């Protein structure tokens, strides 16, 4: 119940953040612009709208998670309200999880409305909806929850600016970590190759949540691969949250 109360208070606080609505309107503009771009481009217009729309949902959603999530814990510390909370019978674990679930609810609401705009734009062009688009949106949501967990992790011990930089770096590395696989294949056997393999294993692979190519181009979409991506996202998010709780427990606010 304490975690639930913190989550709802966090949601009420985060949903009032003006930068959230700025990003939302920017996303809406991108989604509407995708239809105009499709009309001006030679090729399959539906594929262009779907590709641009899904990319906008993923990118703008990640920016929401980064810019809002990185300030959730720091604001409580900066305003000294953390002292009031910690003197109450609230565990630090409950505080971190409450902040996380509050951010997840915020991202869920914003992603829901962005998805409605995206589907409306697509429906006005095709007068039909591909059910596989919902799979793509679900995986984007899983990815955003992971990014939100990372934002809260850095926010638990750093300033919003540094936390934003670290989380953005995490997001970019997660989408380009496939480059390590190519590097490992070209490296000779030895200690250095082993270390690179360890780093590659520990780094997040956010491309596990990217099925835009398969969905946009109507390629096979194995249910086992989708399920594995969901499990991967939940497991990695749980690991990040556990790390955030451990770090936050060790902080001394006195």
Phi and psi torsions of 161, nearest 5°: -65, -50
Looking from the CA of 209 toward its CB, the CA atoms found within 13 Å total 30
Output the tens digit of pLDDT for each of the chain's 254 residues.
Answer: 778 888 888 888 888 888 888 888 888 888 888 777 766 666 677 888 888 889 989 999 999 999 998 888 888 777 777 767 666 777 888 888 999 999 999 999 999 999 999 998 888 877 788 888 999 999 999 999 999 999 999 988 888 899 999 999 899 888 887 777 777 777 788 777 788 788 777 778 898 898 888 888 888 888 899 999 999 999 999 999 999 999 988 877 55
Q: Which helix (H) or strand (E) holds 201?
A: helix 191-202
Separation CA 176–CA 17 (nearest Å): 30
The three-class DSSP label of residue 7 is helix
Count of structural domains, the chain: 1
> Domain range for residue 124?
2-250
Contact 119, 33 (CB under 8 A): no
Contacts of residue 157, Cβ cutoff 8 Å, sequence gap at least 6: 247, 248, 251
What pTM does this model have?
0.88
């Amino acid at each position: 119940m304490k975690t639930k109360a913190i989550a709802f208070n966090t949601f009420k606080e985060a949903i009032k953040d003006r930068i959230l609505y700025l990003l939302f309107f920017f996303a809406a503009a991108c989604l509407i612009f995708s239809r105009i771009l499709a009309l001006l481009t030679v090729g399959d217009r539906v594929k262009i709208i779907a590709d641009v729309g899904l990319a906008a949902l993923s990118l703008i959603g990640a920016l929401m998670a980064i810019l809002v999530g990185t300030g959730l814990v720091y604001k409580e510390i900066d305003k000294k309200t953390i002292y009031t909370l910690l003197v109450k019978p609230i565990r630090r674990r409950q505080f971190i999880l409450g902040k996380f679930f509050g951010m997840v609810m915020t991202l869920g609401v914003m992603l829901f409305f962005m998805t409605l705009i995206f589907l409306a734009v697509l429906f006005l062009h095709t007068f039909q909806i591909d059910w596989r688009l919902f799979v793509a949106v679900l995986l984007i949501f899983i990815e955003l929850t992971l990014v939100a967990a990372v934002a809260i992790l850095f926010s638990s011990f750093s300033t919003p600016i540094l936390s934003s930089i670290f989380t953005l770096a995490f997001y970019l590395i997660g989408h380009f970590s496939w480059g390590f696989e190519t590097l490992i294949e070209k490296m000779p056997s030895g200690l250095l190759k082993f270390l690179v393999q360890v780093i590659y294993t520990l780094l997040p692979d956010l491309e596990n949540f990217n099925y835009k190519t398969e969905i946009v181009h109507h390629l096979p979409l194995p249910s086992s691969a989708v399920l594995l991506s969901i499990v991967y996202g939940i497991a990695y998010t749980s690991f990040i949250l556990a790390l955030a709780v451990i770090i936050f427990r060790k902080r001394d606010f006195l």
